[in-house]
Amino acid sequence: MDLKPGSRWKSAVCSAEVIVVRATKDAAARLECGGHEMNAAGASPTPGGTLSPDFSGGVQVGKRYVDADSGVEMLCTKAGQGSLSLNGRLLTLKEAKALPSSD
What does the alpha-carbon distance between residue 9 and residue 3 come to, in Å, rounded to a whole number?
9
pTM, entire model: 0.86
Q: What is the pLDDT of residues 8-34, one digit of tens each?
A: 999 999 999 999 999 877 767 899 999
Domain boundaries, the chain: 8-93
pLDDT at 99: 86
Q: How many Cα neighbours within 13 Å face the side chain of 40?
A: 9
Pick the closest to residue 5 from 24, 23, 25, 28 (CA basis): 23
What does the alpha-carbon distance between residue 103 and residue 93 come to, in Å, rounded to a whole number?
29
